[in-house]
Structures are given as structure tokens and as C-alpha cells.
Amino acid sequence: MSILALILLIGIPMAVMQILYRLYDPDGEKTLALAEKLPVLMGRKFLIQIITPLLFIVVFGLISVLLHIPIAVFYVVCGLAIGIINGMAVTLMYHGDKK
């Protein structure tokens, strides 16, 4: 698979999900409400931004291999999930720095 295909399959879905997340929660109120329910989100923002995508990729990768899911679908789903995770993490970091 070429680099261009990887950019199309991972990068574009990730960017689109981050944009949609910011449109869904422009002020960060929904994310901050979730962070109040789960205080670990605010305490370990950077760690969650790194570990959560890695865990998702490993677990979904194993599921993909076991269920013979096409690699293109794996890349797109990973891009979407990482876009959501990064959208939340950026929102938390932005609002955490404002306090």
C-alpha cells in the first residue's frame, strides 16, 4: 500500500472526525462534563492521548485479523477512532490550560 493510500485511509478520516468533534462540542462543555465524571481524563491527558489510540489499534487489529476484515477498513476505522480521541484530548488540554 502506498503512502498516498495511507494518507487517504487514515489521515483524512482522522482530520474529518477532529473537525466534526469540534463542531459537535465547540465550547468544550460536553467534554468537560465527561471529564468531571471521569477525573482520570483531566489528570492524565497526555498519557490518555498516547495510550488509548495504541490500545485501540492493538485490540481492533487483533479483531480484524481474527475476523479477516480488509486492511483498508482497519485503517479507516483506526483513523476515525483516533480522530475522536485526539479531538477530546485537544479540547481537554485547551480548557485545562485556561484554568
- DSSP assignment, residue 39? T
Number of Cβ within 10 Å of residue 84's Cβ equals 18
pLDDT in tens, 3-49: 888 888 888 999 999 889 888 888 888 888 888 888 777 777 777 77
- Is the pLDDT at 74 greater than 80? The verdict is yes
**Residues 90, 22: Cα–Cα separation, whole Å:** 10
Q: Which amino acid is at 35?
A: A
For residues 85 and 96, the model is more confident at 85
Q: Where are the domains of the chain?
A: 3-96
Q: How many helices (H) and strands (E) does the chain have?
A: 6, 0
**Residues 62, 59: Cα–Cα separation, whole Å:** 5
